[in-house]
Structure 1
Amino acid sequence: MRVSVFCSSAPDIPNTSLELAFNVGKAIGEQGWDLVWGGGKASMMGEVAKGARSSGAATIGVIPEPLKKVEFEDAQASHMHVVTNMRTRKAKIEDLADAFIILPGGIGTLEEFFEIWVGRYLKFHGKPIAVCDPTGVYGPLQTALDHLASQNFMKSGQKELVAWCSDIPSAIEAVKIK
């Protein structure tokens, strides 16, 4: 099985987030799974790949040519797909992955998360999605989503397509193909 992890590539984030990324990657490898990720070695992106490799996982990166220097392409990747743009990157990651784990991140991570969530709701794929957020970074987002649901802007069944997890074991369990 291949699990995609969406997470931050931002500098200067808390060490706890870097450790989380490493440990999620490690847990993926410990399951005997492989990692699909954005192909960068900066910040959480780099840590999740290091963690996966530390426990024997293959790391399959997908990076747009224009971002190879910005996100610092991970030369240690088992395989690197170089694509033309972000839309192609997201489509390739969706195609390669069997499940998705979302870690703390900014607008890029949120864009990937929402696109994959909408795709599942619209039945373009049936792959499991888990948000792993042990420090509550996404608490305000959950509150906003609850507000949207209370105002009937979210459709029935949408919230249930994502497992919101506060630790790594629950996120791993949530993405297991049953």
Structure 2
Amino acid sequence: MKIAVFCGSSTGNDPQFLTATQALGKHFAQNGIDIVYGGGNVGLMGAVADAALAEGGRVYGVIPEHLKQKEIAHEELTELRVVADMHERKAAMAAMADAFVALPGGAGTLEEIFEAWTWAQLGHHAKPCAFYNVLNFYEPLLDMVKHMTRCGFLKPEHAEMLVKASTPAALLSGITAYQAPAGKWN
């Protein structure tokens, strides 16, 4: 199984974000899970890759040419693919991945997981979309998802399709147990 990981190009202001990210990379590698990610060697991106590689895991990076220097492309990956732009990056990652996970991060992390979740709602794929909820990082967002559902903008089955976990074992368990609901227009 290959899991696409979306996360910050910084480590955040609490060392537990870094520790939890390293634990996830290690757990994935120890359980034969390959990582697909943005290809950078900085922040949580670099940490998850390094932790998996240190355990003998396979890590596949996809980085746009214009970010190759800014995100300091990780040169020790199983495979590093340099692409033209962000659209090509996301398409390549989506094609490679069997599941998607958002770790703590910023606007780019949210944009990537939201696109994957939207595609799942529309029935473009049946892959799990998950939030690694380190230090309850995603609680405000998950409250917003509940609010969108209460207000009638999100079907309950599409809110419930999100996997949420705060430990590597619970996250992997939720991903492997996932069953996709019918697409939004089915």
Q: TM-score, normalised by structure 2?
A: 0.91
Name the residue aligned to 1:103: 103
Name the residue aligned to 1:151: 151
Is the 1:128–1:177 contact (alpha carbons within 8 Å) kept by the matching residues of 2? no
What is the correspondence of 1:16-165 to structure 2 with a 5 Å cutoff?
16-165=16-165
Is the 2:104–2:134 contact (alpha carbons within 8 Å) kept by the matching residues of 1? no
- Which residue identity does 2:5 align to in structure 1? V
Tell me, in whole angstroms, the C-alpha distance in 1 between the residues paired with 2:36 and 2:9: 15
Q: TM-score, normalised by structure 1?
A: 0.95
Task: Give the drift of 1:91.
Answer: 0.6
Name the residue aligned to 2:184: none
- Which residue identity does 1:40 align to in structure 2? G
Once superposed, what is the RMSD of the aligned Cα atoms?
1.4
Is the 1:5–1:35 contact (alpha carbons within 8 Å) kept by the matching residues of 2? yes
Task: Give the drift of 1:13.
Answer: 3.2
Q: How many percent of aligned residue pairs carry the same amino acid?
A: 35
Tell me, in whole angstroms, the C-alpha distance in 2 between the residues paired with 1:2 and 1:10: 23
Tell me, in whole angstroms, the C-alpha distance in 2 between the residues paired with 1:12 and 1:139: 16
Tell me, in whole angstroms, the C-alpha distance in 2 between the residues paired with 1:100 and 1:171: 11
Is the 2:17–2:134 contact (alpha carbons within 8 Å) kept by the matching residues of 1? no
Task: Give the drift of 1:12.
Answer: 4.9
Task: Give the drift of 1:61.
Answer: 0.2
Is the 2:11–2:17 contact (alpha carbons within 8 Å) kept by the matching residues of 1? no
Name the residue aligned to 1:5: 5
| Unaligned stretches of 5+ residues in structure 2 | 179-186
3-state SS in 2 of match to 1:32 = coil
3-state SS in 2 of match to 1:100 = strand
Task: Give the drift of 1:73.
Answer: 0.3
Task: Give the drift of 1:11.
Answer: 5.3
Is the 2:39–2:74 contact (alpha carbons within 8 Å) kept by the matching residues of 1? yes
| Unaligned stretches of 5+ residues in structure 1 | none
Q: 1:12 to 1:104 in 2, by over 3 A?
A: closer
Structure 1 moving runs of 4+ over 3 Å: none
Tell me, in whole angstroms, the C-alpha distance in 1 between the residues paired with 2:162 and 2:120: 9
Query: 12-21 or 116-125: which moved more?
Result: 12-21
